[in-house]
């Protein structure tokens, strides 16, 4: 980029030089308007490439909830929600404020929740301009929403000090990083990590606390809408395909990661997308690929040749968890703000590292409840610190790290809404086929899309099903565009005995995991798990 080009950008934004840039509502609106028009110098600029240091993913062991009287009885105290004392929080919060004294800070006032009946005004205060842009990309921009925020209205405040490291022996943290939520004070304190995903996920944890208390199901899920107005919800952990599968050129995108399901239907909690982009392909994922070339997109830890300025989306030298954070309006067919009708289909996505789960199954309501509470998938490399290859795990509600309340709360709400709105439910495995990780191969995304499209279009409604003998799942016998042998995992393994051993081991793991939920569900849901115990 030349100096003349840079001056043109600044002039277009009404600025004289770099020192004049303050990311307030006025300059942000000019920036967004220029992007939307695709005019001038901004149309020729690329994304912002950033580095997040040693933290290239979430740090779940460094997340805490302040133990205080207002929320104490409602919080699901567990390894996910670890208690932190009010005294320790106050001291660390004050230290963060002292650390910021005399330094430049960036402030964003934003909204969470596209449905105005449930929206939450938030304020994000951070040290870095790129983290402020991240927040503006990820949440709902009030100016676009037709609503101006009153600086005095109640809001959650995120104080983000990524360059302040905690001292565990003094601050009571587990490491130099900390993510602490104080529900009574409506404050979130984040520090010691530059990974921007902590900002969005801490707010998601807040919405998982607030919305269910209003009988709204908060969901770690993406969503889209077909031409006939039929909406679909995609549950799944990071790396299972939520973003990829919901970004369909033939359907309108509601959102890629976090939603609520209230009385009026589903709604996006965010105003942006945070897509994994490792090995991203223009041929297989064209819409997401294009966002990596757009001005305003932030690329975290993506490989780049600093001489030629060419991106290398296949470069995993820093992490497998490379990310693109962009406004949802970068997706051509996105709905912004994201609001849709009650879903016609629910798809639960799993990434089975053992290669034994069927690639698609039609679930009964009881099976949907069972698999929602189980949340089986694999932790994908780089999503969390220390994970270098997929590991099998159970994450209740497909989002245990972000669930502030007991899983039974979310399970009850899901079951009630499935029955009330007569929702069709599917389990889709985007993981391995033909063998376990290291032997088999990841399911081809074109086949997964074919199965998904058939499910959403109703083409599988009258197809005969065969019950999987180990997992008890109803598997379609045929699917347009998919070889029949692919639909039954045992057929794809050369070593049938090895398949049976792996499948039975996973079935037993399902049963062992579900013991925790057995007392809170009906006998029918308890019986909806694998046939082999």
Domain that holds residue 25: 1-45
CB of 403 closer than 8 Å to CB of 258: no
Count of domains in the chain?
Answer: 3
Decide if 310 is inside a domain: no
Phi, psi of 26 (to 5 degrees): -70, -50
Instruction: Write b or e for each residue in 276-285: b if 16 or more Cβ atoms lie within 10 A of its Cβ, otherwise e.
Output: bbbebeeeeb
Q: Which of 141, 160, 200, 242 is catalytic?
A: 242
Q: What percent of the chain has pLDDT over 70?
A: 88
| CB-based contact 126:132 (threshold 8 Å) | yes
Of these residues, 323, 342, 406, 502, which one is catalytic?
323
Cis peptide before 147, with omega less than 30 degrees from 0?
no
To the query of whether residue 128 is one of the catalytic residues in this protein, the response is no
Closest residue by Cα to residue 195 from 273, 134, 271: 134
Round to whole Å and give the CA distance between 27 and 129.
Answer: 13
Q: Is residue 300 part of a domain?
A: no
Q: Assess whether 184 and 226 both reside in one domain.
A: no
User: Residue 26 pLDDT > 50, yes or no?
Assistant: no
What are the residues facing 348 on neighbouring strands?
A: 235, 427
28, 50, 222, 238: the catalytic one is 238
Residue 386's CATH number: 3.90.228.20
For position 146, what pLDDT does the model report?
65
Q: What is the mean pLDDT of residues 135-153?
A: 80
Q: Are residues 354 and 416 in the same domain?
A: yes
In the structure, what pLDDT confidence band is assigned to residue 270 with cuts at 50, 70 and 90?
A: very high
Distance, C-alpha 252 to centroid of its chain = 18
- At residue 237, the pLDDT reads 84
Asked which of 9-18, 171-180, 377-386 is least confident by mean pLDDT, the reply is: 9-18
> Is the N-terminal amide bond of 337 cis, ω within 30° of 0?
yes
Residue 26 has a CB neighbour count (10 Å cut-off) of 12
The pLDDT score that the predictor gives to residue 23 is: 40
User: CB neighbours of 226 closer than 8 A, spacing ≥ 6?
Assistant: 232, 250, 251, 252, 456
Shared-domain flag, residues 20 and 169: no
Q: Any catalytic annotation for residue 201?
A: yes
In this structure, are 231 and 174 located in the same domain?
Answer: no
- State the average pLDDT over residues 439-468: 95
Region 229-238 average pLDDT: 93
Residues 230 and 208 in one domain: no
Whether residues 141 and 33 fall in one domain: no
Q: Which of 136, 201, 344, 406 is catalytic?
A: 201
Where does the pLDDT of residue 331 fall: very low under 50, low under 70, confident under 90, or very high at 90 and above? very high
Give yes or no for a contact between 508 and 394, defined as CB atoms under 8 angstroms apart. no
Where residue 108 sits, what CATH number does that domain have? 3.40.449.10
**Measured distance CA(68)–CA(118) in Å, rounded:** 25
Residue 239 pLDDT greater than 90, yes or no: no
364 part of the active site: no
Indicate whether 240 belongs to any domain. yes
Does some domain include residue 289? Answer: no
Tokens of 123: 């304020």
pLDDT in tens, 191-226: 999 999 999 999 999 999 999 999 999 999 999 999
371 and 520 share one domain = yes
**Model confidence band, residue 2 (pLDDT cutoffs 50, 70, 90):** very low
Confidence bin at 532 (pLDDT 50/70/90): confident
pLDDT at 33: 55
256, 257, 352, 468: which is the annotated catalytic residue? 257
Q: What is the mean pLDDT of the chain?
A: 89
Least confident range from 80-94, 114-128, 144-158, 261-275: namely 144-158
Query: Is 284 an annotated catalytic residue?
Result: no
Any domain includes 74: yes
CA distance 248 to 244: 8
Residue 295 maps to a domain = no
Helices (H), 263-406: 286-291, 365-374
Measure the CA–CA gap between 344 and 418, rounded to whole angstroms.
9
Query: Does the model's pTM come out above 0.95?
Result: no
**Residue predicted with more confidence, 39 or 308:** 308
Q: Which of 28, 50, 56, 58 is catalytic?
A: 58
Q: Are 365 and 437 in the same domain?
A: yes
Q: pLDDT of 176-196, one tens digit each?
A: 999 999 999 999 999 999 999
Note whether residue 293 is domain-resident: no
More confident residue, 41 or 469: 469
What is the reported pLDDT for 32?
Answer: 54
Of 169, 190, 216, which marks where a domain is finished?
Answer: 216
Query: Looking at the structure, do residues 384 and 471 belong to the same domain, yes or no?
Result: yes
The phi, psi pair for 86, rounded to 5°, reads -60, -40
- 183 and 69 assigned to the same domain: yes
Residue 77 has pLDDT above 60, yes or no: yes
Average pLDDT on 35-46 reads 54
* Amino acid 19: pLDDT: 36
How many CB atoms sit inside 10 A of residue 176's CB?
18
Catalytic residue among 71, 243, 319, 377: 243
Q: Residue 13's pLDDT is what?
A: 40
Same domain, 266 and 400: yes
Q: Which of 40-54, 252-266, 304-318, 390-404 has the lowest mean pLDDT?
A: 40-54
220: annotated active-site residue:
yes
Q: In this structure, is residue 521 part of a structural domain? A: yes
At residue 307, the pLDDT reads 82
- Extract the tokens encoding 424: 């069709």
pLDDT digits over 407-422, tens only?
999 999 999 999 999 9
Q: Do residues 241 and 173 share a domain?
A: no
Query: Which one of 95, 155, 160, 220 is the catalytic residue?
Result: 220
The full length of the chain comes to 533
Examine the residue annotation and report whether 58 is marked as an active-site residue of this protein: yes
The percent of residues in the chain predicted with pLDDT above 90, rounded, is: 79
Q: Burial level of 27, CB count in 10 A (0-12/13-18/19+)?
A: middle
């Amino acid at each position: 980029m030349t100096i003349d080009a840079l001056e043109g950008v600044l002039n277009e934004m009404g600025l004289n030089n770099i020192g004049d840039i303050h990311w307030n509502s006025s300059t942000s609106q000019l920036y967004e308007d220029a992007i939307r028009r695709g005019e001038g110098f901004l149309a020729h600029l690329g994304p912002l490439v950033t580095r997040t240091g040693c933290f290239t993913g979430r740090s779940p062991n460094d997340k805490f909830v302040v133990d205080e009287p207002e929320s104490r009885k409602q919080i699901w105290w567990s390894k996910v929600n670890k208690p932190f004392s009010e005294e320790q929080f106050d001291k660390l919060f004050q230290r963060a404020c002292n650390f910021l004294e005399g330094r430049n800070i960036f402030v964003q006032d934003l909204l969470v929740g596209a449905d105005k009946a449930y929206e939450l005004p938030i304020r994000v205060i951070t040290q870095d301009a790129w983290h402020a842009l991240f927040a503006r990309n990820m949440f709902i921009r009030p100016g676009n929403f037709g609503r101006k925020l009153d600086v005095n209205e109640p809001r959650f405040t995120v104080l983000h000090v990524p360059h302040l490291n905690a001292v565990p022996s003094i601050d009571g943290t587990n490491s130099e990083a900390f993510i602490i939520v104080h529900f009574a004070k409506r404050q979130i304190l984040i520090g010691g990590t530059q990974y921007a995903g902590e900002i969005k996920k801490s707010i998601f944890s807040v919405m998982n606390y607030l919305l269910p208390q209003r009988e709204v199901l908060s969901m770690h899920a993406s969503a889209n809408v077909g031409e006939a107005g039929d909406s679909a919800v995609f549950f799944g952990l990071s790396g299972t395909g939520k973003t990829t599968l919901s970004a369909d050129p033939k359907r309108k995108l509601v959102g890629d990661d976090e939603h609520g399901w209230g009385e009026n239907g589903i709604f996006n909690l965010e105003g942006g997308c945070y897509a994994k982009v490792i090995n991203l392909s223009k041929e297989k994922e064209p819409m997401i690929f294009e966002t990596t070339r757009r001005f305003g997109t932030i690329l975290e830890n993506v490989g780049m040749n600093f001489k030629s300025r060419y991106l290398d989306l296949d470069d995993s030298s820093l992490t497998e968890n490379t990310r693109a954070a962009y406004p949802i309006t970068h997706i051509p067919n996105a709905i912004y703000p994201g609001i849709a009708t009650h879903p016609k289909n629910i798809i639960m996505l799993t990434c089975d590292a053992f290669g034994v789960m069927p690639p698609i199954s039609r679930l009964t309501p009881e099976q949907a409840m069972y698999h929602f509470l189980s949340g089986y998938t694999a932790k994908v490399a780089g999503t969390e610190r220390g994970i270098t290859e997929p590991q099998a795990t159970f994450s209740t509600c497909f989002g245990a790290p972000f669930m502030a309340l007991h899983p039974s709360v979310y399970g009850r709400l899901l079951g009630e809404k499935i029955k009330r709105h007569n929702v069709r439910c599917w389990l889709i495995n985007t993981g391995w086929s033909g063998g376990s990780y290291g032997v088999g191969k990841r399911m081809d995304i074109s086949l997964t899309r074919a199965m998904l499209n058939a499910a959403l279009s109703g083409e599988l409604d009258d197809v005969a099903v065969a019950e999987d003998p180990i997992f008890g799942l109803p598997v379609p016998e045929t699917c347009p565009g998919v070889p029949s042998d692919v639909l039954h995992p045992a057929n794809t393994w050369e070593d049938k005995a090895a398949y049976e051993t792996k499948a039975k081991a996973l079935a037993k793991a399902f049963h062992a995991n579900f013991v925790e939920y057995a007392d809170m569900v009906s006998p029918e849901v308890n019986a909806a798990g694998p046939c082999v115990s």
